[in-house]
Homo-oligomer: A and B are copies of this chain.
Amino acid sequence: MNLKSYFTEHRSEHLKQLQEFLSIPSISALSEHKTDIQKAAEWLADQLKSFGMKRVELLPTKGNPVVYGEWLHAPGKPTVLIYGHYDVQPVDPLHLWDSPPFEPAIRDEKIYARGATDDKGQVFMHLKSAEAFMKSEGKLPVNIKFCLEGEEEVGSPNLDEFVEQHKELLAADMLVISDTTMLGKGKPAICYGLRGLCGLQINLKGPKGDLHSGLYGGAVQNPIHALAELLASMHDDSGKVTVDGFYDQVVPLSIEEREAFTALGQTDKDLQKELGVPALFGEQGYTALERSWARPTLEVNGIWGGFQGEGTKTIIPSEAHAKITCRLVPDQDPEQILDLIEKHVHNHLPAGVTAEVIRFDKGKPFVTPFDDEAIQAAARAYEQAYGVAPAFTRMGGSIPIVETFGRLLELPVVMMGFGLPEENFHAPNEHFHLENFDTGLLTISYFLQEIEKLGEKK
């Protein structure tokens, strides 16, 4: 079959389906979207069934279901496990979106919607590639299993257990994930390393109720002051994390790796311009790329306490709160890092308040050797579709499940991402460039053909 003409012919039909998928507000962080999560999972299952995937089901977890489907009729050929997620990030602040996040709009050959690039758009491409083979040739070039989860954006709290319990069902020769980004327009990349993640919330409590700041100001600790002091104690002036022991397990960047990063030609100046900041900022002695790919971070993702309305309210609030997540690199351990931070909170707690720490979100960092034959097959597929060899990169983001899959199923992980860094992942006006939708469909299809050539591995 001619894949190029197939995808050209079906383009408008595919985009219509993608818009339908993106219009389901499957936000996993907000419980009021529980039925939307279910709807998105069922939408995927219907799609998988429609082009002949077998054993399609919503497999329950303690949280949102995993959508599973398989086609195992390519004897002697490798089995490819495809992972993706159908849940999306919250959409606030809503007023910064140019079009509603769940009314997908195509402008300038980009599709705008929450989940367009992270990760519904990319999941959809794997479906359409498999469908292309099934509809044209009645079969797939390799064996395929889909494992699509609905809790990635809240840290995949139930997937470890799910994979552990379904080791046989999920057994495969390699895992493919499209949830990372390219280096830039026309610059494909295969990601061989991801940062890990751990998160916590700090709740500080002072007086039993909000107090009049005139009557009591000066007499008691203000929980916001205490929180500011506590958070400020977690970084030095250059942004280096000052939590005791935080960097102890970090594997230093090798000279070779730093040279390879530099060779990618991404300058700090370009990044500063892209992000619209007065200056880049972070740990001294590293480029911004090194800091975001291969150094750990501790970020306060949210803070709140007291009065946020119009005008003033002269109170000392009873409580103040912060949400923190850390990005981790090999060989940091999420549990151990949470222990260190919790210890820091208690050791640096200002007088006059009490602290509660709630833990969530854990994923280990992950690095895979990029001379693996599955990764090299992906590289050939990219070259065929894009006309250039892909770069081998690491990424600052976390897909906690990557490390779990790699460890529990003992298989190489191929991260083929088609997003662009400027596509507003997790932010207002998230979008996906249709040129990478088109070329990505080809890349994924060529990849399956390249894997077919490898023959049976197990």
Find chain B residues with CB under 8 A from A93 CB: 210
Question: A217-232 vs B: 1/0 string, CB under 8 Å?
Answer: 1111110110111011
Please name 5 pairs of A and B residues whose Cβ atoms are closer than 8 Å in the assembled complex, sorted by A.
Answer: A31-B310, A209-B427, A232-B232, A278-B353, A303-B304
Q: A30 interface residue, CB < 8 Å from B? A: yes
Q: A308 interface residue, CB < 8 Å from B? A: yes
Complex contact B239–A232 (CB within 8 A): no
Closest to A157 in B: B311
A206 in contact with B310 given A299-B217, A303-B305, A395-B214 (CB within 8 Å): no
Complex contact B292–A215 (CB within 8 A): yes
The one of B280, B313, B325, B425 in contact with A89, judged by C-beta atoms closer than 8 angstroms, is: B313
Closest to A272 in B: B220
The one of B154, B222, B300, B309 in contact with A222, judged by C-beta atoms closer than 8 angstroms, is: B300
Question: A199-215 vs B: 1/0 string, CB under 8 Å?
Answer: 10000001111111111
Find chain B residues with CB under 8 A from A398 CB: 214, 314
Complex contact A29–B311 (CB within 8 A): yes
Shortest CB distance A301–B (Å): 5
Shortest CB distance A236–B (Å): 10
Q: A178 interface residue, CB < 8 Å from B? A: no
The one of B224, B276, B300 in contact with A208, judged by C-beta atoms closer than 8 angstroms, is: B276
Q: CB within 8 Å of B: which of A269-312?
A: 271, 275-283, 288-289, 291-292, 295-297, 299-312
Q: CB within 8 Å of B: which of A161-200?
A: 181, 195, 197, 199
Complex contact A279–B351 (CB within 8 A): yes
The one of B29, B207, B314 in contact with A426, judged by C-beta atoms closer than 8 angstroms, is: B314
Q: A110 interface residue, CB < 8 Å from B? A: no
**A213–B237 alpha-carbon span in the complex (Å):** 19
Instruction: Give chain A's interface residues, CB within 8 Å of chain B.
Output: 28-31, 89-90, 92-93, 96, 154-155, 181, 195, 197, 199, 206-222, 224-225, 227-229, 231-233, 235, 237, 239, 271, 275-283, 288-289, 291-292, 295-297, 299-317, 320-323, 325, 327, 350-354, 360-361, 395-398, 421, 424-429
Q: How many copies does the complex hold?
A: 2
A221 in contact with B277 given A228-B232, A397-B212 (CB within 8 Å): yes
The one of B219, B292, B425 in contact with A217, judged by C-beta atoms closer than 8 angstroms, is: B292
The one of B199, B215, B295, B352 in contact with A278, judged by C-beta atoms closer than 8 angstroms, is: B352
Find chain B residues with CB under 8 A from A211 CB: 275, 426-427
A288 in contact with B228 given A206-B277, A320-B303, A427-B209 (CB within 8 Å): no
Find chain B residues with CB under 8 A from A206 CB: 277
**A238–B41 alpha-carbon span in the complex (Å):** 54
Shortest CB distance A193–B (Å): 12
A213 in contact with B297 given A275-B207, A276-B207, A323-B307 (CB within 8 Å): yes
Across chains A and B, which 10 residue pairs bring their CB atoms closest together, nearest first? A214-B397, A208-B276, A281-B352, A218-B291, A302-B306, A29-B311, A221-B281, A228-B231, A232-B232, A219-B288
Shortest CB distance A415–B (Å): 13
Complex contact B221–A239 (CB within 8 A): yes
Closest to A308 in B: B304
Closest to A426 in B: B212
A325 in contact with B228 given A275-B220, A301-B312, A314-B197 (CB within 8 Å): no
Shortest CB distance A446–B (Å): 27
Complex contact A427–B301 (CB within 8 A): no
Find chain B residues with CB under 8 A from A288 CB: 218-220
Among A154, A277, A292, A361, which residue has the most Cβ atoms of chain B within 10 A? A277
Find chain B residues with CB under 8 A from A325 CB: 213, 312, 314
Find chain B residues with CB under 8 A from A271 CB: 219
A311 in contact with B360 given A317-B302, A397-B215 (CB within 8 Å): yes
Shortest CB distance A394–B (Å): 11
8 further A-B pairs in the complex, CB-CB below 8 A; given A29-B313, A210-B428? A30-B310, A89-B313, A215-B421, A219-B289, A219-B291, A224-B322, A280-B352, A315-B426
